[in-house]
Amino acid sequence: MATKPEILIVGGGVAGLALATRLGDTLGRQGQARITLIDKSFSHVWKPMLHCFAAGTAQNENDRISFMAQASSRHFEFWPGEIVALDRANKRAILGPFRSAEGEVVLESRTVEYAALVLAIGSRANDFGTRGVAEHCLFIDNLVEANSFNEKFRMELLRAYAADKPLDIAIVGGGATGTQLAAELHKALDLVALHSFGAAPPQLKITLLEAGPRILPAFPEAVSTAAQRQLERIGVSVRTSAMVSGADAEGLSLKDGTRIPATLRVWAAGVKAPDVTSAFDGLSLSRSGQILVHPNLQSQDDEHIFAMGDCSFISEDPLPPTAQVARQQAHHLARHLPAWLRNGSAVPNCVFHNKGAIVALGNYNGWGTLPGGTVFGGGFLNGLTARLGHLMLYRQHQVELYGLFRGLMSILADRIDAFVRPSVRLD
C-alpha cells in the first residue's frame, strides 16, 4: 500500500490552524494525504486577542481552541513540538525535545518527513538589539507570554493595593498591540474595582512610548489623533517620537536622556520572524528573518516549502503582518495545494484583498477603516460600531474553525459564562 503524502504545517496560529482545518476536511477526510500540525502549545488563541489575555479580560476556555480536539474532529493530526532545523535534501523537519512545565523531557528530539512543508510560525516583537530589553522587558507574542505577563500584573496590582501606591507600567510600541493593551489594562482595573469590597483601587500609571510621530501609524491620522485623546482621557500618558535606548529593572531610558520609571515594562514594538528561521538550511531570508517567498507563497529556494503569515516576505509586494493577510493566504493554499500535491499543478499567485482594519480600545472607543480610507466608529456610543466589528471578526474566526453549529454554540457558551464568572481574571 502506498504511503500517503505528508503535508506538514508548522505553527498553529490564524494561518496554520485554518489551513490544517481546511486540508483536513478535504485531503484528510478523503484519505488522500496525511495532514500534521506542529505547535509548541496545546491550544490556539486568536492573536489579535492576546492583549486581552495579558490584561486578564479574556480567560474563558471557549477563547482557546484545543489543537488535539480540533485535529480529531477535522481529520488531521497534531503533535506538540518546536521546529529547530530543516534537512531540505531529505525533506525532513527536525523538532527539538518537548519539555513539561517543570523542564522534564517528555518527547525526545524527532524528525518528521514531508512532501510539502508549510511554515506559519508567526512573528515576534523586534527589540532591535536595544540594551537590556531582552533581560528586563516582557513580551506578549504568544499565549504563554501573555499569561506570564498577566500573572505579574496581578501580583504587582496586589502589592499596589496593599501598599496604597501607584502601579507604573511602560509599554513600548504604539501600534495596535501596545495601544489596545494600554486601554485593556485600564479596563481590567475598572473591573477589579467591582470586586474590591469598597477598597479604592490603586492608581494605574501607564506610559505608552512610540518612536514615530504618532500612534497607530497604519491607520489614518484622524484615528491616531482620536485614539491618543481617548487614551489620555482615561489616564494613559502617550509619548511620541520617544526612542528607547535602554531598559533595566527599574524602568526605561530614552535617547533624549529622559528616564521612565516602571515596575512592569512591555515591549510591543517592531516585527521580526522567530530566530529559528536562520537554521532553516539556507532558505533566503529578509532583514527581519522572514522567509522570502514568491507571490504564490512558495519559497524562493525550495519548491516543497511554503511560508505564510508574519514569517513570510514577498519581495515584489510586501504585505502587513496582520491576521487578515494570514487568513487569506491560508485559504489560498487550502484551495491550491491539493492539485499541486496530486499532479504538480503550479500554485497561482495569492492576491490580497484589503478589507480594512479595526482597532478597539477596550470598552472606551474604537475605530475602523474601509479600503477606500473611510473611517467609522468613534464618538457615537463610544465607537460601538467599530468595537462590535472587532468582536464579529473574532466570532467569524470561531465559526470558520468550529463549523456553523459548534461556532454558534461556542458563542452562546461565552454569553452564559459571562453571567457566572468574573469578567476579569482574579486568580
**CATH number of the domain residue 28 falls in:** 3.50.50.60
Mean pLDDT of 206-222: 95
Q: Are residues 277 and 267 in the same domain?
A: no
Mean pLDDT of 141-161: 90
Tally the domains of the chain.
Answer: 3
Q: Could you say which of 343, 374, 394 is where a domain stops? A: 343
Distances (CA, A) of 22 to 28, 111, 119, 295: 9, 25, 16, 21
Pairing verdict, β 204-209 and 291-293: unpaired
Q: Are residues 69 and 89 in the same domain?
A: yes
Predicted pLDDT of residue 1? 35
3-state secondary structure of 120: coil
Which range among 185-189, 305-309, 348-352, 400-404 shows the weakest confidence by mean pLDDT? 400-404
The three cell numbers of residue 270 are 517592531
Q: Are residues 260 and 280 in the same domain?
A: no
Q: Are residues 331 and 394 in the same domain?
A: no
Which range among 78-82, 195-199, 297-301, 322-326 shows the weakest confidence by mean pLDDT? 195-199
Query: CB-side exposure of 13: number of CA atoms within 13 Å?
Result: 29
Name every residue whose Cβ is closer than 8 Å to that of residue 170 and which is 6 or more positions away in sequence: 206, 207, 209, 251, 252, 260, 262, 264, 265, 266
Q: Are residues 322 and 223 in the same domain?
A: no
Predicted pLDDT of residue 2? 47
Predicted pLDDT of residue 197? 52
Q: Are residues 278 and 403 in the same domain?
A: no
Q: For residue range 380-408, list pLDDT tens digits in order.
A: 556 677 778 888 888 888 888 888 877 78
Q: Are residues 405 and 336 in the same domain?
A: no
Give the residues across from 189 on adjacent strands: none
Provide DSSP, 298-309: BBSS-TTEEE-G
Q: Are residues 166 and 250 in the same domain?
A: yes
In a domain, residue 1? The reply is: no
Q: Could you say which of 242, 271, 300 is where a domain stops? A: 271
In a domain, residue 228? The reply is: yes
Average of per-residue pLDDT values in the chain:
89
Predicted pLDDT of residue 4? 81
In a domain, residue 308? The reply is: yes
Q: Check residues 387 and 86 and name the one with the higher pLDDT.
A: 86
Give the residues across from 205 on adjacent strands: 168
Q: Are residues 140 and 242 in the same domain?
A: yes
Q: Are residues 165 and 294 in the same domain?
A: no
- What proportion of the chain, given as a percentage, has pLDDT over 70? 93
Predicted pLDDT of residue 83? 96
The torsion defined by the Cα of 93, 99, 103 and 105, in degrees rounded to 10, comes to -90
Name every residue whose Cβ is closer than 8 Å to that of residue 161 and which is 6 or more positions away in sequence: 196, 199, 201, 202
Domain containing 363: what range?
A: 355-421
Q: Could you say which of 283, 315, 343 is where a domain stops? A: 343
* Cell numbers 486581552: residue: 52
Predicted pLDDT of residue 380? 55
Q: For residue range 229-271, list pLDDT tens digits in order.
A: 999 999 999 999 999 999 999 999 999 999 999 999 999 999 9
pLDDT band at 307 (very low <50, low <70, confident <90, very high): very high
Predicted pLDDT of residue 423? 60
The whole-model pTM stands at 0.89
